[in-house]
Structure 1
């Protein structure tokens, strides 16, 4: 084991002792009660099985049999989630054949960030994670179930399902993926059309054609954004079947994996094994973080992993991420960090290669519990069909494409590329895995914006043809729900391509596909909380140094403090349902604590349990 990995894990364990003990006690108390429907009254049980088939009712009356609850994020507007339409019936049939039963316990909302990027609805994106967590809790609160299956893939959906399911951690919980869409127009070509459109050199019809050729089918988008990062991290946590993440939808192998996932949930429940609380511990959380770093995954996970950990009583911090980033090599390259899409990554060796390499390097905890059984070594295998039967075989012994996957001894980079940046403007994170070394240090006059639209207007007016630190403030969790600022990407990229020094500084988020322009994001404290960003003025000189990990405005502390903080020009945003979520923005924790509405209530509960 790498000593740095051991040190960070032990630090996490010690920091979390009180909250983790309270969580485990709560799960133990729940586990000591009669399992599932066994403590329901006759009236409760009758309601819970009223709509079931007669054979399912007979099984549900047999209290020793297993009933599996499904929490689904299905809708047919998300390409990644459209395949879930047929999953519940397939799962019910599989469980009947296994001598068990299955019911859809509930549905949770699943918004598509790709549809809402740059729109008012994007301000609901991050808070939707906590809504999904609450929806998951409502679904499982019926106490009808001995195990649970979570059907979700995308950005806030998997973190929300994890957060909600963790409060039922006395049960086995298995995540069931749907798989990526087939490869379409290469991501780099799509990005080039976006940049030409931003310059006015491509028509809207050309842009729509390129986008439609890229996003063209059922399944997850093929670039390495938050959705596909989620999938790799679920395997690292041991909550998804080995190698299941990137098998395409509506194929025999995908169907076989779905059936096996249902059977495995029932198998674990029958054996009284594989509770979620026993699987997602500090080692599993660190394993997920290592995979995030080794693959250059989405910066959104710097929020989500913290919030997920809190729901399991684990107090992960950005320092843990930064310290591990120093020792975890970058061994995968997928767009936007490289040219390959997720299908090419899967074909080159996929997750089996990643786990084998990182275990060999001593950078993963092998001694963990997973839904597939004890030990992370199981995840070095890949699923295949042999004569129609699902089996796992050893993964490839070498990378099948070294432009996509490399060994830990000859990595793309010796470090993971995720860094903390701090200084007199606050503290944030930056991902440099896609940023060329020549662009990692920028010093320029800043220009202040309060929206993506204002930035785009200034660009189109020709006001940004210069070295520039673009500061987009009042974008944090408390201000407007922390929308992604993906609309900025092609414009910032164009300015950089024209030879200007360019950087972004914001208390908001970038897309999970953060790219080649240095972006200090998630800055804390946010401007709406009176952070230093609220004291900046147009023309202040700002320095971003990703190598040194510094972010400074050229003012001494007294001069900066003497400036009165400005307030947002539009303090209350209404329309598109945003006003319904005002109470959640008020309760949201800072970005470095996960941007979660639950942080304070979980802390209070932990303290009460320990008193």
Structure 2
């Protein structure tokens, strides 16, 4: 028997005034779009039976031929779907067995179907979505498809749910673009209860500090490829999410604090009895008509909760785009200014690689999500007044799941103090008084910088520019020994319009070497570096991007640039009249065919700016 969290006390603390003010302005700014969104999804959820007037399964409105197509291969479930009002859950899966994070999903559909039958319902695999890995495509042509895959996933999710066969959904996805895409697509069906069921992180392998050391030695040519591959293989060694705190694990954190995971579901390792029990319960929650529809769960309070949790943990910079896009799909307008203002008051409570040496399993063992949420709720940093898949109130998420003596799933109070204060701390004793993210603004445009992994004495860099039109140029110059000096590396024409905004993570080891040699080093780019942004200050997602005539296109080698993460400025120290008179550099001739890139020409032409979520599907949101 399953017992959902039963905590009833909630948070009695008043909301922090800045968190409350930011939430209020988001609500005011979003009022028209949010109201229109809610009208649409509430209308979609109102399908009264013609005879009784009561709302029933949406498939009741299907014609006989339509329904016959939908149940033709259902075997023992056919009668349940055609002759009873039993509910039907859609499974949308990102399974493939190449990616460690998604390989465990192979067995999930059969498990979800069994759990649904036991609860008197049915589950069907409604569709699959692509799942690609930035870790595999780093520095490769395929990386130019990566960001766009998020909107493909959103569209694929919508196709899967478009058959009017379903009364709820379980979404199976973990990594970088997959979870945001699933959420964006499912929010078009916001009248349905939706639960995201994760697979969990792989067990800990080679310590992250050692992995980073070997990578840097390889960048310097001090170890060979065999040694590098051995270290990487010991780090990424089995089923589950990579254990560092990049976008994949940031996704899991967000889904839990936004009420779309079951409490404590995010960081339970694959292949364990507890993981299986949580998956079974996800099916039951999606089947239950009492579960709040997704469109009601993802509201202004939930979005702010997501931003606060991301900041408190130094999560992925990719979510300055993904969270904006997910919020927009629910009619909520989130901006970089909201991130910045919240970051000024949200304390940093974790040290997880690349912000420290611990991995996500260490965070889980130290107290994990239940303690993090308890601390932030107690400080008035999170909204308790939210609907979740576990019931009303975020306080449910201060409890942890356990198996009782009979193998049943129960929730109990989580820890009230950290078991390892080198990894997770309370609000009274944070690692830093503010979040690890800053908004930069100046004559080079607007950008974000992640400071949680950057030492204080490296957060202000004034140095001459070295301009590159792709990361390969920079790495070649590094290999030739041409960059052994103070510099701000400007890597431009890497935005969504230019080439799909590939991740530039391969720059990190080389730039780290230069910083360790005592040089003042920073990077400024209209591209992205994700949650793996490390110890070198990086102004990311510069908007407007160079491909749209942005000022990065006017920067020349030797121009002095000031990146100041303390004051939030990004400035080219050149006379304004001279700078205005410069022509924008001619964009490099880049290949747009091969590795499927030709199929995404329409995406490059239509994509919105990074600050608005870099979306094709929601570019005007």
Bin for the TM-score computed over the shorter chain: over 0.9
> 1:279, 1:369 within 8 Å by CA — same for their partners in 2?
yes
What 5-or-longer segments of structure 2 have no aligned partner? 1-14, 49-56
Q: Post-superposition shift, 1:572?
A: 4.5
Q: Does the alignment pair 1:581 with 2:595?
A: no
Range 591-600 or range 475-484, more displaced? 591-600
Aligned residue number for residue 284 of structure 1: 302
Q: Post-superposition shift, 1:556?
A: 2.3
- SS across alignment from 1:283: helix
Aligned residue number for residue 555 of structure 1: 574
- SS across alignment from 1:167: helix
Q: Does the alignment pair 1:398 with 2:417?
A: yes
Q: Post-superposition shift, 1:598?
A: 2.3
Q: Does the alignment pair 1:591 with 2:613?
A: no
2:247 counterpart (207, 223, 226): 226
> 1:118, 1:487 within 8 Å by CA — same for their partners in 2?
yes
5 Å-filtered alignment, 1:107-506, equals 107-267=128-288, 269=289, 271=290, 273-387=291-405, 388-506=407-525
1:73 counterpart (88, 94, 108): 94
- How many Å separate the matches in 2 of 1:396 and 1:335? 23
Q: Post-superposition shift, 1:33?
A: 2.2
Q: Post-superposition shift, 1:384?
A: 0.8
- SS across alignment from 2:169: strand
Q: Does the alignment pair 1:16 with 2:30?
A: yes
Aligned residue number for residue 3 of structure 1: 17
> 1:528, 1:567 within 8 Å by CA — same for their partners in 2?
no
> 1:38, 1:63 within 8 Å by CA — same for their partners in 2?
no
- 1:91-139 CA deviation, whole Å, 9 max, x = no partner? 1111111111000000000001110011111111100000000000000
- SS across alignment from 1:16: helix
> 1:166, 1:311 within 8 Å by CA — same for their partners in 2?
yes
- SS across alignment from 2:355: coil
> 2:102, 2:199 within 8 Å by CA — same for their partners in 1?
yes
> 1:426, 1:523 within 8 Å by CA — same for their partners in 2?
yes
- How many Å separate the matches in 1 of 2:588 and 2:614? 23
- SS across alignment from 2:415: coil
Q: Post-superposition shift, 1:36?
A: 2.3
- 1:485-533 CA deviation, whole Å, 9 max, x = no partner? 0010000000000000000000000132111000000001100000000
Q: Post-superposition shift, 1:451?
A: 1.2
Q: Post-superposition shift, 1:143?
A: 0.9
Aligned residue number for residue 508 of structure 1: 527
Aligned residue number for residue 41 of structure 1: 63
Q: Does the alignment pair 1:27 with 2:41?
A: yes
- How many Å separate the matches in 1 of 2:127 and 2:272? 26
- SS across alignment from 1:222: coil
Q: Post-superposition shift, 1:557?
A: 2.1
What 5-or-longer segments of structure 1 have no aligned partner? 604-611
Aligned residue number for residue 608 of structure 1: none
Q: Post-superposition shift, 1:63?
A: 4.2
- How many Å separate the matches in 2 of 1:115 and 1:367? 40
> 2:607, 2:619 within 8 Å by CA — same for their partners in 1?
no
- How many Å separate the matches in 2 of 1:266 and 1:331? 36
- How many Å separate the matches in 2 of 1:323 and 1:411? 18
4+ runs deviating over 3 angstroms: none
- 1:64-87 CA deviation, whole Å, 9 max, x = no partner? 110000000000111000000000
Q: Post-superposition shift, 1:571?
A: 4.3
- How many Å separate the matches in 1 of 2:619 and 2:564? 33
- How many Å separate the matches in 1 of 2:454 and 2:113? 47
Which TM-score applies when normalising by structure 1? 0.97
- 1:239-270 CA deviation, whole Å, 9 max, x = no partner? 10000011000110000000011011111x2x
Which TM-score applies when normalising by structure 2? 0.95
- How many Å separate the matches in 2 of 1:445 and 1:96? 65
Aligned residue number for residue 11 of structure 2: none
> 1:71, 1:148 within 8 Å by CA — same for their partners in 2?
yes
- SS across alignment from 2:532: coil
Number of equivalent positions = 598
- How many Å separate the matches in 2 of 1:259 and 1:417? 36
- How many Å separate the matches in 1 of 2:591 and 2:215? 31
- How many Å separate the matches in 2 of 1:29 and 1:260? 28
- How many Å separate the matches in 2 of 1:293 and 1:235? 15
1:518 counterpart (509, 521, 537): 537
Aligned residue number for residue 539 of structure 1: 558
- How many Å separate the matches in 2 of 1:29 and 1:570? 49
> 2:168, 2:286 within 8 Å by CA — same for their partners in 1?
yes
- SS across alignment from 1:329: coil
Q: Post-superposition shift, 1:600?
A: 4.0
Q: Post-superposition shift, 1:551?
A: 0.9
Q: Post-superposition shift, 1:403?
A: 0.2
RMSD (Å), alpha carbons: 0.9
- SS across alignment from 1:293: helix
- SS across alignment from 1:32: coil
- How many Å separate the matches in 2 of 1:30 and 1:511? 36
- How many Å separate the matches in 2 of 1:282 and 1:572? 41
Q: Post-superposition shift, 1:360?
A: 0.4
